[in-house]
Copies of this chain bind each other. A is one copy, B any other.
Amino acid sequence: MSRPGKIFTKMSKKILILGASSDIGLETVKYFLKNNCIVTAHYSSDKKKLLKIKNKNLNLFKFNLTKIKSFEKYINKNSSKISNFDTFVSLTGYMKLKNFFKISSSDLMDHFNANYISNLLVIQKILNKMKKKKWGRILLASSIGTKFGGGSLTMSYSISKYLNEFFPSEYKKFYKHNVIINSLQIGVTDTKLHLKNKSKNMKKRIQLIPINKMASTSEVAEYIYFLCSEKNTLITNQVINISGGE
């Protein structure tokens, strides 16, 4: 058993992160790098902050995940490379604000593509190799918003995140090979986005959180790391709420 104060050994694992340019994504990338992992980080448009992380173990790649057919081709062409990852974390968070009554089929598609189908395509490629290696960690970010049906403008986002909480029966066959798969309902987090509108609305929203404060990105990154680490051997097939009691 590990000595106290040394819960996690350095992992040296190869990690794929989709949606790495968000504030949570950045913190997660740093956390894995700090623990000697080799990180391949996906971003959809803005890589400025990712570039600031100078680390030879960080690789970046760009993709607009709403263009799912191109992503599918890319995945199929690079399937041997994809299948090599030890850990897959999806933090995709495509969100187009739109009133419930104005949502079109294209809006839904875009969200399903970027926030769910992209994940599934990756998972199809990596599961069997994980089984062979007898190691695999998959963590798909959902949002606490799914629990409440999303906001007036974020229904498309919420339902696409909700999809990440569905566990196909197929997954069960992999758990015994040390492949651990979970979904994470992340609570309101203190990101740049939220800081901007730290107006009356945000204050009201925070009052709904039992712990009465937003999560920090580093708190969230630690839970992500924990659930993907070798320390997590018993939690699988679960939707975990890290949302301060909501």
- A51 contacts chain B at the CB level, 8 A cutoff: no
Closest to A99 in B: B170
Q: Does A69 contact B105, Cβ atoms closer than 8 Å?
A: yes
Q: 10 other contacts beyond A5-B8, A100-B124, with CB at 8 A cut-off?
A: A4-B36, A5-B9, A72-B104, A101-B128, A103-B120, A149-B166, A155-B170, A163-B163, A176-B212, A236-B245
Contacts of A152 in B (CB 8 A): 169-170
Q: Does A149 contact B170, Cβ atoms closer than 8 Å?
A: yes
Closest CB-CB distance, A24 to chain B, in whole Å? 12
Contacts of A5 in B (CB 8 A): 5-10, 35
A residues near B (Cβ < 8 Å) are 1, 4-10, 34-36, 68-69, 72, 100-101, 103-105, 108-109, 112-113, 117, 120-121, 124, 127-128, 146, 148-152, 155, 158-159, 162-163, 166-172, 175-176, 178, 187, 210-213, 215, 218-220, 222-223, 226, 231, 233-238, 240-246
13 A-B pairs, CB-CB below 8 angstroms? A4-B10, A149-B166, A150-B168, A155-B169, A158-B166, A159-B168, A210-B236, A211-B234, A219-B233, A226-B226, A236-B245, A237-B246, A238-B240
Contacts of A242 in B (CB 8 A): 234-235
Provide the bound-state CA to CA distance between A221 and B124, in Å. Answer: 34
**Shortest Cβ-Cβ A-B pairs, 9 listed:** A149-B169, A176-B212, A175-B210, A237-B245, A234-B242, A100-B170, A236-B245, A175-B245, A149-B168
Q: Does A241 contact B235, Cβ atoms closer than 8 Å?
A: yes
